[in-house]
């Protein structure tokens, strides 16, 4: 399918110039966004995504996005996409603004786009040399200031991966560039708490809730970044590796990791069970 794009109430061609060249989102990354999976022409977990969009706006000091307007735009874009879209992106920026970091109260820009998606069932992760700052002014906010993620993902891609895994400034495991992380250790699947600086991922949140309901042992726990040493096979070819890694994010859902830093690693049983649980539960309701 082609990409469908809507900007402030009008459809535009994907490559058409549709924003002010001085939109503050372009100038300094002064904006927020959401990405949802789309199933059967409907956005998955849209209410949770819109709630987080509101939290990101508040954290950024941007006006709360007009939810009815965003929902209307989403409906228009998905109708135009005609049932073949796999992902939806909602971006809200500060709008036309000054050439520096200051704001002058411009009117927001809303961009909504739908396009195809073909997520794989597993992922190849690479440990990033850079860290997430859990004390940053925008920690935990889904802002359009994603340059750090762009650089980290390019580095992971150059090393044969499809996602980078970052520690935070105190050496704890944090998240990926576009995914939360889960580590299977012992009989549990553990994910770093929000205090690690990771995004409050909707997929992570749903997995924690559904696992609790279904009796799958999944919970939050502080994890040192060095826990990943236990995922990588040792020099004996794997006997010393007793942990497994999985990623969680919209569109990808739950992906057990099958390669770390270019070395094959085994998908864990709990990670596979979590993927199955998520796939089953997400089919029950489009907006859980
Ligand atoms: C930095 C970051 N962490 C985690 C996630 C996963 O969040 P969600 O499950 O809401 O997609 C994303 C989503 O793109 C992200 O950008």
Q: 9-54: per-residue pLDDT in tens?
A: 999 999 999 999 999 999 999 999 999 999 999 999 999 999 999 9
pLDDT (0 to 100) of residue 119: 94
Helix (H) or strand (E) holding 220: strand 218-220
Domain extent at residue 15:
4-115
Which residue among 98, 115, 132 closes a domain?
115
Which residue among 91, 115, 139 closes a domain?
115
Say whether both 42 and 96 belong to one domain: yes
Global pTM reads 0.96
Say whether both 109 and 139 belong to one domain: no
Q: What is the CATH number of the domain that holds 97?
A: 3.30.470.10
pLDDT band for position 233 (50/70/90)? confident
Q: Which residue has the tokens 């992570």?
A: 204
Residue of 56, 87, 250 with the most ligand 1 atoms within 8 Å of its CB, for mutation: 250
Say if residue 239's pLDDT is above 70. no
pLDDT (0 to 100) of residue 240: 64
Q: 250-279: per-residue pLDDT in tens?
A: 999 999 999 999 999 999 999 999 999 999
Nearest atom of ligand 1 to the alpha carbon of 149: 1
pLDDT (0 to 100) of residue 13: 97
Say whether both 199 and 64 belong to one domain: no
Q: 91-115: per-residue pLDDT in tens?
A: 999 999 999 999 988 899 999 999 9
How many independent structural domains does the chain possess?
A: 2
Long-range contacts from 196-200, C-beta under 8 angstroms, 24+ separation: 196/132, 196/134, 196/168, 196/172, 196/222, 197/132, 197/133, 197/134, 197/135, 197/136, 197/139, 197/140, 197/168, 198/132, 198/140, 198/174, 199/140, 199/141, 199/142, 199/175, 200/52, 200/55, 200/140
Nearest atom of ligand 1 to the alpha carbon of 142: 16
Say whether both 12 and 90 belong to one domain: yes
Say whether both 155 and 54 belong to one domain: no
């Amino acid at each position: 399918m082609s990409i469908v794009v809507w900007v402030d109430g009008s459809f535009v061609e994907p490559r058409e110039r549709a924003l002010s060249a001085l939109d503050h989102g372009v100038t300094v990354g002064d904006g927020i966004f959401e990405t949802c999976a789309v199933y059967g022409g409907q956005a998955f977990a849209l209410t949770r995504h819109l709630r987080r969009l509101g939290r990101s706006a508040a954290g950024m000091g941007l006006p709360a996005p007009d939810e009815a307007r965003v929902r209307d735009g989403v409906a228009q874009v998905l109708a135009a996409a005609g049932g073949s879209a796999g992902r939806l992106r909602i971006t809200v920026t500060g709008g036309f603004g000054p050439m520096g970091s200051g704001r002058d109260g411009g009117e927001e820009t809303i961009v909504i786009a739908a396009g195809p998606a073909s997520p794989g069932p597993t992922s190849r992760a690479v440990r990033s040399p850079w860290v997430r700052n859990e004390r940053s002014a925008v920690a935990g906010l889904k802002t359009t200031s994603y340059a750090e993620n762009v650089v980290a993902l390019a580095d992971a891609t150059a090393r044969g991966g499809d996602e980078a895994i970052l520690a935070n400034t105190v050496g704890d495991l944090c998240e990926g560039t576009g995914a939360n992380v889960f580590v299977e250790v012992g009989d549990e699947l553990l994910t770093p708490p929000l205090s690690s600086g990771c995004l409050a991922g909707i997929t992570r949140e749903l997995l924690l809730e559904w696992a609790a309901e279904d009796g799958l042992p999944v919970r939050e726990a502080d994890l040192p970044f060095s826990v990943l040493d236990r995922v990588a096979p040792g020099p004996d070819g794997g006997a010393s590796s007793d942990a497994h890694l999985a990623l969680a994010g919209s569109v990808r859902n739950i992906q057990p990791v099958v390669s770390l830093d270019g070395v094959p690693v085994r998908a864990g049983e709990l990670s596979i069970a979590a993927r199955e649980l998520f796939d089953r539960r997400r089919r029950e309701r489009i907006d859980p």
